[in-house]
Structures are given as structure tokens and as C-alpha cells.
A = this chain, B = another copy of it.
Amino acid sequence: MDQNQTNLLQGTLDLLILKAIGAGELHGLGISRRIEQITHGTFRVKPGSLFPALHRMEEAGWLSSDWGESENNRRAKFYRLTKAGHRQLGTETRQWAKVALAMADALKAT
């Protein structure tokens, strides 16, 4: 059933996107590439997951966007974090740390 790559855990996508944009504005596919890069290929976010997430997060007020031109002179929408987005990045990072710690504890239990 599970063919090749690791799927995202639901709930981690937002954090990865926030983190990817945190370092500077990026357009959609750029975010996708950046996530693949910083996770060393473990996570590959496909368009069908990415764009709905971006729209959702912009709706939530964490991102803002402007049309511009990509490195290849293509029309592209650039996303950056709003103030609320920065806060959200902090919140989700702390929450992830908590979860990761809890899981580590659980898995080393007898």
C-alpha cells in the first residue's frame, strides 16, 4: 500500500510551511522545494497538499502574499509570515517539541 516515501503526519505540514517561509519570502513551489531540502528529502509536499494549505493559512491570517516574478520569469505568488504567523510558528514549534518528547518517552518505556 505504502509505496516509497514517508507521508506527512497530519498536522506537521503547517509547521513545515511556517518554518520554510520564516527564513524569507518564497513562492509556492519554492516552499515545497525548501521543505524537501531542510528535511533532507524525507518530506515531499505535492501541489495538491501545498496549495490548499497555503490558502487555508492565509485565510487564518498567518501568511500574506503578493504576485511577482520567479527566478525563471514566471508569474508566481510570494508568501511571507505575518506577525500572527510568527507567533504561530513559535506556538507550533513548542507544541512539536512537547509531542516529540512525549513520543520519545513512550517509545523508550518498557
Contacts and interface: CB of A to CB of B under 8 A. Distances in A.
Majority secondary structure of chain A interface residues (helix, strand, loop or mixed) = helix
Contacts of A103: 12, 15-16, 39, 96, 100
Interface residues of A, number: 31
Interface stretch (A3-11, A25-33, A62-70): A3-11
Given A35-B106, A39-B102, 15 more contacts: A6-B98, A6-B99, A6-B102, A9-B12, A9-B99, A16-B103, A19-B106, A23-B110, A38-B105, A38-B109, A39-B103, A39-B106, A40-B102, A42-B99, A42-B101
Interface in A65-109: 93, 95-96, 98-107, 109
